[in-house]
Amino acid sequence: MIPLPSLPILQWGRRYDRAALGGDALAALIVTVMLIPQSLAYALLAGLPPEAGLYASVAPLLVYAVFGSSRVLAVGPVAVVSLMTAAAIAPHAQAGTHAWWAVALTLAFMSGLILLLMGLLRLGFLAQFLSHPVIAGFIAASGLLIAASQLKTLLGVKASGQTLPELLPALVAQTGQVHGLTLMIGITTLAFLVWSRQRLKPLLLRRGLSSRWADGLAKAGPAVAIALTTALSWALGWQEQGVRVVGTVPQGLPPLTAPLWDPALWQALLVPALLISVVGFVESVSVGQTLAARRRERIEPDQELIALGGSNLAAAVSGGLPVTGGFARSVVNADAGAQTPAAGVYTAGGILLVSLFLTPALFHLPQATLAATIVVAVLSLVDLSVLRRTWAYSKADFAAVLSTLLVTLGAGVEAGLLTGVSVSLALHLHRSSRPHMAEVGRVPGTEHFRNVQRHAVEVDARVLGLRVDESLFFANARALEDRINDAVASRPELRHVVIQCSAINHIDASALESLEAIDQRLQQAGMALHLSEVKGPVMDRLERSGFLQHLSGRVFLTHHQAAQALAVVG
């Protein structure tokens, strides 16, 4: 029976007081100022009108406040998910049309259903199949792709494409059509945003502001850029000079919307929706766990699936787009003093007020300003040092990072992510099929046994002690057979084989058959198979199988006991 979702709001809501209200209200004010430009920019990144970003920052926040287990996670549109949304919609609709928006709503609805179902079935562990190297490579490549996709807006030219091989030639072909004023606006905004990120906070601290206010004002740099460039655009008539502006943004409450009920479309969007769901969940849980650890709190991954699922369903029925927990805004929310998810409710109220009263002021906002906001935000996600670190530590992880990065840049976000997961799983299976096995001997004067190739140890030619540093399953069972067969063939004095099972957590049916075959061969050759240091759950399975009743040797509690007993038996 599927359990009903819990309501974390009933826990923190009972203890809500004036102190929590003050912290939440201040955090909401700062996050609202930060979220306005982000919402507009990420909606445009997804190929949607800017108001879709505002709509996606209202209802989802309200739903998350009810179901979310994180006290400070801020839900809304994020760069990587917006890019994946645009890539998923591109084959099914033309950018800028109502059909494009309808498919985006459908994608959000499907993502919500997938996340909700995963949460109810407690499948949060599935996200662990996305290794950190794969995620690092994917996010770095996505950041580069997003930045490249915004160059056309910064240059004031037309270019299309979902990958670098498509985007770069299109941009090069348009170099003669660059709009000078648009380029100046974009470069100036970029410079200001970089300066505000790096220099504004220290400047404000030197002027006597508290750390919290200085950090909040520094994070408000994009809002300041929007306000200044919008005012200049209106005053100087930039639109008449060829600068592309946001244009009319509808004023009012988020609309009631519905997804498309087209089975063929749903089938085509199933894989993109699943990838968006998993990537969004991983990003959200990663930042949620990091911030919770700072506050000595914890989050529930399965509950987060339910909360994010509900948030995406809310986005689908209120004119939004797929959402998840954003890293930057969640960190700002926590640093600004948020105490409970009520901060998200107040943030939603602030965005709602903007939608009701301030959208006419966005008409003259240059699109180059929003493009600069996106570029600065996503380039902070690009960490290519992961290539150097993984190369130094693990060539297999390096292969996963590099393949994810290159395929994402060259073939798109979906292909890149699937490649990363496939390479990681293939490398894991390859490593597991070749388990580390070490012949062990006794460290003189102790009861400890170590690898004979690494330590000066005592060995008995009649006894082979073999430590297997991996669980035994179908992919590596044959390797164990081969190792023991080689030892038997090369050591005529051998009488006993002892498998030290201290690192074996599981033995599947295929590996059990291999152990039975090994035991039979050893018996036929006048030798015996023994086990030592078998873990309880593994012992229970072996006893149920009947294997131990027919074992030619014995099962020893410790490898030291085995060495002592077999040395006497000879």
Question: Which residue has tokens 């051998």?
Answer: 494
Q: What share of the chain is helix, strand, coil (3-state, %, to 5)?
A: 65, 5, 30
Q: Exposed e or buried b for every residue in 500-521, given b needs 16+ CB within 10 A?
A: bbeebeebeeebbebbbebbee
Which band of pLDDT confidence, cut at 50, 70 and 90, is reported for residue 544? very high
- Of residues 430 and 472, the one with the higher pLDDT is 472
Nearest 5°: the CA angle 531, 535, 540 is 90
Question: What structural domains does the chain harbor?
Answer: 9-375+386-425 (no CATH), 437-569 (3.30.750.24)
Tokens of 143: 């950041």
Lowest mean pLDDT among 3-12, 95-104, 487-496: 3-12
Q: What average pLDDT does the segment 551-560 reach?
A: 94
pLDDT at 569 (0 to 100): 54
Pairwise CA distance, residues 170 & 152, whole Å: 9
Pairwise CA distance, residues 280 & 80, whole Å: 8
* Cβ 63 vs Cβ 311: under 8 Å: yes
Pairwise CA distance, residues 555 & 539, whole Å: 9
- Residue 126: how many other CB atoms lie within 10 Å: 12
Pairwise CA distance, residues 174 & 152, whole Å: 9
Nearest to 67 by CA among 316, 329, 330, 312: 312
Helices and strands counted in the chain (H then E): 26, 8
pLDDT at 158 (0 to 100): 87
Query: Is residue 172 classed exposed, middle or buried when 0-12, 13-18 and 19+ CB atoms within 10 A define those classes?
Result: exposed
Q: Per residue in 194-233, pLDDT tens?
A: 998 888 888 888 888 877 777 777 777 888 899 999 999 9
* Cβ 195 vs Cβ 183: under 8 Å: no
Nearest to 122 by CA among 306, 275, 299: 306
Report the DSSP pairing between strands 463-468 and 496-500: parallel
Q: Per residue in 256-298, pLDDT tens?
A: 999 999 999 999 999 999 999 988 998 888 888 878 877 777 8
Pairwise CA distance, residues 237 & 272, whole Å: 41
* Cβ 161 vs Cβ 170: under 8 Å: yes
pLDDT at 2 over 60: no
pTM score of the predicted model = 0.81
Question: Which residue has tokens 């200085």?
Answer: 214
Q: Specify which residues 139 forms β-bridges with.
A: none
Q: Per residue in 390-401, pLDDT tens?
A: 999 988 889 989
Pairwise CA distance, residues 532 & 466, whole Å: 10
Query: Is residue 49 classed exposed, middle or buried when 0-12, 13-18 and 19+ CB atoms within 10 A define those classes?
Result: buried
- Of residues 192 and 215, the one with the higher pLDDT is 192
Pairwise CA distance, residues 384 & 171, whole Å: 24
Nearest to 516 by CA among 562, 550, 471, 554: 550
Pairwise CA distance, residues 332 & 344, whole Å: 12
**Residues 6 or more apart from 12 whose CB is under 8 A from it?**
71, 340, 341, 342
Tokens of 350: 């602030």
Nearest to 58 by CA among 354, 336, 289, 260: 354
pLDDT at 412 over 90: no
Tokens of 356: 């009701």
* Cβ 461 vs Cβ 498: under 8 Å: no
Pairwise CA distance, residues 37 & 25, whole Å: 20
pLDDT at 568 (0 to 100): 66
Tokens of 397: 């992880």
Positive or negative: CA dihedral 156, 160, 165, 169: negative
pLDDT at 80 over 60: yes
3-state secondary structure of 245: strand
* Cβ 155 vs Cβ 171: under 8 Å: yes
Q: What is the mean pLDDT of the chain?
A: 89
